[in-house]
């Protein structure tokens, strides 16, 4: 077994994820992943069917989604996943400063989901994502300080797109509070001028395959950083749409091969 369990996020496949789940899961399995993220169910029957299908391809469902946040926690606990996403707190605008009152309100909003996480022994993590309360490493430090029971979904691509160096997390007190990882690179047509406040994703910038970005992200250093803090959760390779370069299955193979070339 490798140093980390590597999952593939299905967001790259778009509607194909729901329309052709068997073909999509077969592509993920063939690319050599251990798990799959992006499955969502509205009732226990659908959950059972989806998870059985994923397991038939040797894939562990990771961070399974549900309409109700507390149900999401319960389902991931039942599946043996030690972590589950909690509702992302939305910023009023990208790059807008976070006031102390905003952070206090977010902590109150997250309290029920975090209570459910505590009840089932699950780490509840908040997505680092452009447009949420966590765009940068500094944002993450501030929100996690307000919510002692909250963990970080360390999304390298969204932090890069927000102008933050995701590797800085390993020089902070929250380095040991990474609950989940979305690993991806970032490409901007004009990196020196890119700003997530005014730029347009999909036309001026996009998420990139691992090693194919142009903003100086060191994937190997990211993986070594996770090792240094004893991270034991899933590393989910994600490539948010729009992604026009090649079919999602081919991109999944390239990403997995790149990680193997680094020893992961």
- Coil, helix or strand at residue 208: strand
- What's the confidence (pLDDT) of residue 1? 43
Residues 177, 180, 185, CA angle at the centre, nearest 5°?
110
Tens of pLDDT along the chain (264 residues) come to 468 999 999 999 999 999 999 999 999 999 999 999 999 998 999 999 999 999 999 999 999 999 999 999 999 999 999 999 999 999 999 999 999 999 999 999 999 999 999 999 999 999 999 999 999 999 999 999 999 999 999 999 999 999 999 999 999 999 999 999 999 999 999 999 999 999 999 999 999 999 999 999 999 999 999 999 999 999 999 999 766 689 999 999 999 999 999 999
**Residue 208: CB partners within 8 Å, gap ≥ 6?**
157, 184, 185, 186, 187, 214, 239
The answer to whether the pTM exceeds 0.85 is yes
Q: Given the DSSP bridges, would you call strands 5-9 and 150-155 parallel, antiparallel or unpaired?
A: unpaired
CA distance 201 to 193: 13
- Coil, helix or strand at residue 25: helix
Q: Which domains does the chain have, with CATH numbers?
A: 5-261 (3.20.20.150)
CA distance 238 to 255: 9
């Amino acid at each position: 077994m490798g140093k980390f369990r590597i999952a593939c996020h299905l967001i790259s496949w778009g509607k194909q994820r729901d329309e052709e789940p068997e073909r999509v899961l077969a592509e993920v399995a063939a690319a050599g992943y251990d798990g799959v993220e992006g499955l969502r169910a509205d009732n226990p029957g659908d959950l059972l069917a989806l998870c059985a299908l994923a397991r038939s391809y040797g894939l562990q469902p990771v961070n399974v989604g549900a309409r109700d946040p507390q149900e999401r926690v319960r389902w991931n606990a039942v599946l043996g996943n030690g972590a589950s996403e909690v509702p992302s707190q939305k910023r009023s605008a990208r790059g807008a400063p976070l006031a102390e009152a905003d952070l206090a309100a977010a902590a109150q909003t997250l309290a029920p989901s975090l209570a459910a996480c505590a009840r089932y022994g699950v780490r509840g993590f908040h997505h680092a994502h452009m447009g949420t309360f966590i765009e940068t490493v500094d944002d993450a430090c501030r929100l996690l300080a307000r919510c002692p029971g909250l963990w970080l979904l360390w999304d390298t691509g969204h932090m890069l797109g927000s102008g933050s160096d995701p590797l800085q997390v390993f020089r902070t007190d929250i380095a040991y509070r990474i609950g989940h990882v979305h690993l991806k690179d970032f490409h901007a047509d004009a990196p020196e001028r890119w700003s997530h406040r005014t730029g347009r994703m999909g036309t001026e910038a996009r998420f990139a395959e691992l090693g194919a970005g142009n903003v100086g992200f060191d994937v190997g250093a990211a993986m070594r950083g996770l090792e240094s803090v004893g991270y034991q959760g899933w590393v989910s390779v994600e490539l948010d749409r729009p992604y026009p370069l090649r079919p999602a299955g081919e991109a999944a193979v390239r990403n997995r091969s790149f990680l193997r070339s680094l020893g992961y």
